[in-house]
Structure 1
Amino acid sequence: MTTTPVPDPVSDPVPVVVVDDHAMFRSGVRAELAASGAGQVEVLAEAEDVDSAVRAISTHRPRVVLLDVHLPGGGGVEVMRRAQGASPETRYLALSVSDAAEDVIGTIRGGARGYVTKTITGPELVSAVRRVADGDAVFSPRLAGFVLDAFAGSIEVAQVDEDLDRLTEREREVMRLIARGYAYKEVAKELFISIKTVETHMSSVLRKLQLSSRHELTRWASDRRLL
């Protein structure tokens, strides 16, 4: 079986595939990696959903995949599961707007070597990619605590919250940001969607959860350790 060459820690660029369902965000990541990591990271391809991600990984066999957690067609864990046979040596670094415990822990258990949020700077992202390529595990500081708590048994990840399960992946993203106090305009900017779309998702969230206000939503999310 042919294997992907391991990049030299200093000189060889790390081959990367960027997986995210927002074209503007993928372009931004590509630009940041080019500006901050010239000669250190090479973006081979981009993908927007599970199927296109699996195809790109199977075709290019990248050393690292920058992987969003929530994707059309099944999410980042499904990408890792389906691509494992075609490119077993590829490593995955989750890059997500979500820093919720269940997303972090579920993604790591699904096979990712690290998890960072989209507030990361370009140089930090280049460093994280290089470290994952070299076999390190990379986490934002707060997220590392979630993983330690999970394996210590203080977070019960297996328990599925029936209320949360009613929400779509996009509704969960909107819900978490609103619950943290983001304005609709800020949510729209963060998720690359319109303010009207944010309002629509928020109405759906409140209806499905049988809540009547942002204050109730914040309390609901806090009780479930989603903030």
Structure 2
Amino acid sequence: MTARVVLVDDHRMFRSGVKAELDDSVTVVGEAPDVDAAVKVIRETRPDVVLLDVHLPGGNGNGGADVVTGCAGLQTESGDPVRFLALSVSDAAEDVISVIRAGARGYVTKTISPADLISAIDRVRDGDAVFSPRLAGFVLDAFGATAGEIAEVDEELDRLSAREREVMRLIARGYQYKEVAKELFISVKTVETHVSSVLRKLQLSSRHELTSWAMQRRLL
């Protein structure tokens, strides 16, 4: 079943271009050019994923972050949370951190290929956190101090080795096994072994549960 998506961007031509590139891979159920219109259409359609720019007119002047907070707690008809994926020309740390703090599940730039964008939408719909590697670093840096404080008192986290923690953070941030292997200079088989160990030690059953676990502890 294709993801139901709302497109939020203040440039109509860009929205048209995205729809054309996505083709039949998703179902676009609504569009909006600003914060106020976005919140309205999202509440009316309750999509699986909202694809939004971070720089938008309206609201309280916080752009995409205002859209996310304005729809806090909103669920789809199936009971899953409406999830947000930022798609922006900006790769500035403050933009990334602002929309993620508000509750977005991921952030990719407009240089992304159509195939990768479709994959990102599907992964966000399924509960994964998706970031370009450079942008993921901003998020990790922003929450690093808090993560360090939590790690000192988190008995579950203490069960993991240093390498398992590295793998866990990357997997929870939406990296695929091949990407983790490349990032850490290890084999895909070793990544699979670490992931299995992490899930067993934390008594989790899926990547989705691992992402939720990490987000609750602000480890992403």
Q: Do structure 1's residue 30 and structure 2's residue 19 form an aligned pair?
A: yes
Contact 1:58 1:87 in 2 (8 A): no
2:97 match: 105
Q: How far 1:87 sits from its partner (Å)?
A: 4.1
Is residue 57–residue 87 contact of structure 1 (8 Å, CA) maintained in 2? Answer: no
Q: CA deviation at 1:141?
A: 1.0
Aligned-residue CA RMSD (Å): 1.5
Q: How many residue pairs end up in the alignment? A: 139
> What's the offset of the Cα at 1:84?
2.0
Structure 2 residue aligned with 1:42: 27
User: What is the 5 A alignment of 1:63-74?
Assistant: 63-73=48-58, 74=61
Q: How does 1:207-226 map to 2 (within 5 A)?
A: none
CA contact (8 A) 1:66 1:94 kept: yes
Q: Which residue of 2 aligns with 1:147?
A: 139
Q: Secondary structure at the match of 1:125?
A: helix
**Partner secondary structure for residue 21 of structure 1:** coil
Aligned to 2:82: 90
Partner-residue secondary structure (3-state), 1:128: helix
Q: Secondary structure at the match of 2:47?
A: coil
> 1:78 aligned to 2:66?
yes
Specify the code of the residue in structure 2 equivalent to 1:139. Answer: F
Gap regions ≥5 residues in structure 2: 147-220
1:104 alignment partner AA: V
Structure 1 residues 124-135: aligned runs within 5 Å = 124-135=116-127
Identity of aligned residues (%): 65
Residue of structure 2 equivalent to 1:163: none
Q: Unaligned regions of 5+ residues in structure 1, if any?
A: 1-11, 155-227
Matched, 1:118 2:110: yes
Q: Is 2:43 the counterpart of 1:54? A: no
Structure of higher RCO (CA pairs closer than 8 Å, 6+ residues apart): 1
* Aligned twin of 1:21: 10
Q: Deviation per CA, 1:7-29, whole angstroms, max 9, x where unpaired?
A: xxxxx010000000000100011
